[in-house]
Chain A
Amino acid sequence: MVRSRLHLPRSPARPGEAPDFSYLELSPAGAVARPQVGARVRDIGPLAVELVRVLDDAGDAVGPWNPHLDAAELQIGLRHMLLTRIFDERMQRNQRAGKITFYVRSLGEEAVSVAQCMALSPRDMLFPSYRNQGLQIARGIPLVNLMCQLLSNTRDPCKGRQLPAMYHSAAGHLFSISGNVATQFPQAVGWAMAAAIKGEDHLAASWLGEGSSAEADFHYALLFAAVYQAPVILNVVNNQWAISTFQGYAGGEQRSFAARGPGYGIAGVRVDGNDFLAVHAVTQWAAERARTGGGPTLIELVTYRAAAHSTSDDPSRYRAKDDAEHWPLGDPIERLKRHLIRLGEWSEERHHALSAELDELVAASWREAVAYGTLNDGPKLDTDLMFEDVFKEMPANLQLQRAMMRAEKSSR
């Protein structure tokens, strides 16, 4: 065999190997300077390669990025993250029991969606990926709505047309999620450009996985955001894996994802994605920058996909089994909990009680949601809905096909 000189990024730990995160470049908590919100991109290059962290190993908040949130706000953050996790666990089980066809968990990444959503204002427009359920929860979308979407039932806001987890909420300013990765990125920029054209104050934010940042849409988004200095926050959730493919295959081996920002003339910030306080702080910084005419920010959230890619995936085939337990940045819920306990604002007992309360909330919501039907039993969506909303007005061919479909159903 000829020796190939082609470089192939090496994945850190495959099945049977010991977890190895030595490739990860970390900064100590509190070590990264916090520039002025209006700083010029060329002056803040290091922000894109260092790692903004606030919570130290003991659970104290340290350094210039400490957002000094009050305890009540931290408790809300903890609640949203825990609710997201319990919701995920329960929906995963429901998928396994055949109640829903497909599910995607965000295990270990809850701080990303929850802290970022809480740092933005309710009228800011969010363009999520399929792994941002924490945004839906932190925005206060009722669990029953989310579950009805998962069930494709009679109360499904998507009217049965979308795969589970592809939520949307016009009232909640949460854009419709696409199954095609990265498409939302330039759309968020366009939304933000429109806000600027109209002289409005709202900004847009979007999320994608580091794997998806390989798509051209990611690069279009950065370029348009830079050219028009759009009020947008673009987030790369670097959870290390894209299905079976390690982040090195998306370009993370040579340089951080945040560093692509300065390449385009955009502020880039790399942050510990499992540190609720740090995520909140950098998002707030970026939001203020956007609202005061400072333009876009690219944030890389360094985290770990602790669960499978989706219910169709089995990560034991491609990565070390106990990888997640060795992830150096810990678990976002545990870390915020420890911090609150150190502040004297939380306890194991309260945590336990909250857990039980949220368990019951999810269970009760599920009981209500299934009453509106599941794919297998209960009330069913009207199949005529299939032909609606293709266009504003139904054209003749669809009217004809709707009649044919009705005839087919009665012939069966």
Chain B
Amino acid sequence: MAQMNMVQALNSAMDIMLGRDPSVVLMGEDIGYFGGVFRTTEGLQRKYGEHRVLDTPIAEGGIVGAAIGMAVNGLRPVAEIQFADYIYPGFDQIVSELARLRYRSAGDFTAPVTIRTPCGGGIRGGQTHSQSPEAMFTHVSGLKVVMPSNPHDAKGLLITAIEDDDPVIFFEPKRLYNGPFDGDPNKPAVPWSTHPKGEVPEGHYTVPLGRADIVRAGAQLSIITYGTMVYVAQAAAAALELDAEIIDLRSLVPLDVDAICSSVKKTGRCVVAHEATRLSGFGAEIAAIVQEECFWHLEAPIQRAAGWDTPYPHAFEWEYFPGQARLAAAIRAAMEPA
């Protein structure tokens, strides 16, 4: 085992896959010589060569389209979109092409592309460096959608994603790159070296898609979440001294419905939390599933804690971010007696 932050863990996953599989190539803006604006691909071009770790023009539609073509011709591209906020020029290639190629060609053409992209706020990035657009992709049939919350999972999930024969959109909550974050910007930053999930095996291993992680087992309430909110949820439940069960979904498509439902059937109370805007957010899907599957077990309405339905405002970052206070309000409402 080694101590790694999330950037190092992701780097290690790509390093291993470039080493094991000659068809793996990396591509993206500033990822080659420079190693990426978050340094996630640092050293990989030097190690594997310029034709396997490609700097690309600033054209997300071109990156995704070219990745599809390369994949169809036998490569296994891992494309970086510098910020999730810049994925939209590539949206058509992702939605209309990447997602549906297998279906429309009856399996004769497939494109095993992984698209990595940093998401989420909390870094004073304003509206174009803070978005969490995962629900736009879970809504598209044919895409797998992943969001790890710690270095250990990040590496195992990224290896799984690269080895997967279907396209995967891999969201990296950038506020978690260097350490867990409980939503309080005034506390000193905590590095991954102090957290058990900062222990990462150096070699190849996988974390399966569609398997949630029960971060904390509990009896009183289920908090279903992913990404940065995993830590906010833990802190909020602890502050309220509740015996909450906290579930880190890790992958949204495929979704671990069993883990969600067995938890809610046990606790009878459910809060769903994500950083993305609330309206049509992935939380709505979870709430619908819980309602369908666990209705007779519910003691109170399902609650959602999410980002407000506005663009991410630079000056009001911490009033926008769904921090512990927002979680606490949702938890209290979910704990109302039946």
Which residues of A are interface residues toward B (Cβ below 8 A)? 1-2, 4, 6, 8, 11, 14, 101-102, 152, 156, 159-164, 166, 178-182, 211-212, 214-217, 242-245, 249-251, 312, 317-318, 375, 381, 383, 385-387, 390, 397-398, 401, 404-405, 407-409, 411-412
| B86 / chain A contacts, CB cutoff of 8 Å | 180
A179 contacts B85, C-beta separation under 8 Å: yes
Interface SS, B side:
loop
Alpha-carbon separation in the docked complex, A317 to B34 (Å): 7
| A411 / chain B contacts, CB cutoff of 8 Å | 325, 328-329
B249 CB to closest chain A CB, in angstroms? Answer: 24
Alpha-carbon separation in the docked complex, A216 to B60 (Å): 9
Asked whether B2 is an interface residue with its Cβ less than 8 Å from the other chain, the reply is: no
Quick one: closest B residue to A406, CB to CB?
A: B319
| A407 / chain B contacts, CB cutoff of 8 Å | 329
B325 contacts A398, C-beta separation under 8 Å: no
Residue from A1, A397, A405 in contact with B49 in the complex, judged by beta carbons closer than 8 Å: A1
Most buried by A among B86, B315, B316, B320: B315
Quick one: closest B residue to A8, CB to CB?
A: B50
B315 contacts A156, C-beta separation under 8 Å: yes
In the A-B complex, the 9 residue pairs with the smallest Cβ-Cβ separation, listed nearest first, are A160-B315, A179-B128, A163-B126, A244-B34, A214-B57, A4-B51, A152-B315, A214-B59, A408-B325
Alpha-carbon separation in the docked complex, A162 to B60 (Å): 23
| A217 / chain B contacts, CB cutoff of 8 Å | 89
A407 CB to closest chain B CB, in angstroms? Answer: 7
B308 contacts A244, C-beta separation under 8 Å: no
Alpha-carbon separation in the docked complex, A318 to B126 (Å): 26
Asked whether B301 is an interface residue with its Cβ less than 8 Å from the other chain, the reply is: no
| B311 / chain A contacts, CB cutoff of 8 Å | 161, 390
B324 CB to closest chain A CB, in angstroms? Answer: 9
A151 CB to closest chain B CB, in angstroms? Answer: 9
Asked whether B124 is an interface residue with its Cβ less than 8 Å from the other chain, the reply is: yes
Alpha-carbon separation in the docked complex, A181 to B278 (Å): 27
Q: Contacts A243-B29, A387-B310; is A163 near B127 (CB within 8 Å)? A: yes
| A318 / chain B contacts, CB cutoff of 8 Å | 33-34
A91 CB to closest chain B CB, in angstroms? Answer: 16
Asked whether B125 is an interface residue with its Cβ less than 8 Å from the other chain, the reply is: yes
Residue from A180, A216, A250 in contact with B85 in the complex, judged by beta carbons closer than 8 Å: A180
Asked whether B88 is an interface residue with its Cβ less than 8 Å from the other chain, the reply is: yes
Residue from A2, A215, A405 in contact with B58 in the complex, judged by beta carbons closer than 8 Å: A215
A375 contacts B310, C-beta separation under 8 Å: no
| A164 / chain B contacts, CB cutoff of 8 Å | 314
Since A161-B313, A217-B89, A244-B34 are in contact, a sample of 6 more A-B pairs with Cβ atoms closer than 8 Å, ordered by chain A residue number, is: A160-B313, A161-B311, A179-B126, A180-B89, A211-B58, A214-B57
Asked whether B208 is an interface residue with its Cβ less than 8 Å from the other chain, the reply is: no
| A1 / chain B contacts, CB cutoff of 8 Å | 49
Alpha-carbon separation in the docked complex, A406 to B159 (Å): 43
B319 contacts A163, C-beta separation under 8 Å: no
| B274 / chain A contacts, CB cutoff of 8 Å | none
A214 contacts B58, C-beta separation under 8 Å: yes
Alpha-carbon separation in the docked complex, A375 to B328 (Å): 26
Residue from A163, A244, A312 in contact with B33 in the complex, judged by beta carbons closer than 8 Å: A244
Quick one: closest A residue to B88, CB to CB?
A: A180
Quick one: closest A residue to B82, CB to CB?
A: A243
B residues 20-37 near A (Cβ < 8 Å) are: 22, 29-30, 33-34, 37
B30 contacts A163, C-beta separation under 8 Å: no
A408 contacts B85, C-beta separation under 8 Å: no
Residue from A160, A211, A387, A404 in contact with B314 in the complex, judged by beta carbons closer than 8 Å: A160
Alpha-carbon separation in the docked complex, A409 to B321 (Å): 12
Asked whether B326 is an interface residue with its Cβ less than 8 Å from the other chain, the reply is: yes
Alpha-carbon separation in the docked complex, A8 to B57 (Å): 12
Quick one: closest B residue to A10, CB to CB?
A: B50
B55 contacts A245, C-beta separation under 8 Å: yes
| B51 / chain A contacts, CB cutoff of 8 Å | 4, 6, 8
| A385 / chain B contacts, CB cutoff of 8 Å | 316
Alpha-carbon separation in the docked complex, A208 to B24 (Å): 33
| A156 / chain B contacts, CB cutoff of 8 Å | 315
| B309 / chain A contacts, CB cutoff of 8 Å | 390, 397-398, 401
Asked whether B62 is an interface residue with its Cβ less than 8 Å from the other chain, the reply is: yes
| B136 / chain A contacts, CB cutoff of 8 Å | none
Asked whether B197 is an interface residue with its Cβ less than 8 Å from the other chain, the reply is: no
Asked whether B56 is an interface residue with its Cβ less than 8 Å from the other chain, the reply is: yes
B333 CB to closest chain A CB, in angstroms? Answer: 11
B156 CB to closest chain A CB, in angstroms? Answer: 28
Q: Contacts A318-B33, A412-B325; is A163 near B58 (CB within 8 Å)? A: no
| A242 / chain B contacts, CB cutoff of 8 Å | 29, 58
A167 CB to closest chain B CB, in angstroms? Answer: 13
Residue from B320, B326, B329 in contact with A386 in the complex, judged by beta carbons closer than 8 Å: B320
Quick one: closest A residue to B92, CB to CB?
A: A216
Quick one: closest A residue to B311, CB to CB?
A: A161
Asked whether B279 is an interface residue with its Cβ less than 8 Å from the other chain, the reply is: yes
B316 contacts A160, C-beta separation under 8 Å: yes
Alpha-carbon separation in the docked complex, A287 to B315 (Å): 38
Alpha-carbon separation in the docked complex, A245 to B85 (Å): 20
Alpha-carbon separation in the docked complex, A101 to B317 (Å): 12
B89 contacts A215, C-beta separation under 8 Å: yes
Alpha-carbon separation in the docked complex, A120 to B244 (Å): 64
Asked whether B129 is an interface residue with its Cβ less than 8 Å from the other chain, the reply is: yes
Q: Contacts A152-B314, A179-B85, A245-B30; is A250 near B57 (CB within 8 Å)? A: yes
Alpha-carbon separation in the docked complex, A164 to B58 (Å): 22
A179 contacts B127, C-beta separation under 8 Å: yes
B37 contacts A243, C-beta separation under 8 Å: yes
Asked whether B61 is an interface residue with its Cβ less than 8 Å from the other chain, the reply is: yes
- A selection of 7 A-B contacts at a CB cut-off of 8 Å is A4-B51, A152-B315, A160-B314, A179-B128, A245-B57, A317-B34, A408-B329
| A381 / chain B contacts, CB cutoff of 8 Å | 315-316
Quick one: closest B residue to A2, CB to CB?
A: B22
Residue from B62, B128, B308, B326 in contact with A214 in the complex, judged by beta carbons closer than 8 Å: B62
A163 contacts B29, C-beta separation under 8 Å: no
Most buried by A among B49, B57, B86, B320: B57
Alpha-carbon separation in the docked complex, A217 to B60 (Å): 11
B2 CB to closest chain A CB, in angstroms? Answer: 24
B58 contacts A250, C-beta separation under 8 Å: yes
A68 CB to closest chain B CB, in angstroms? Answer: 39
A181 contacts B313, C-beta separation under 8 Å: no
B319 contacts A162, C-beta separation under 8 Å: no
A398 contacts B308, C-beta separation under 8 Å: yes
A208 CB to closest chain B CB, in angstroms? Answer: 10
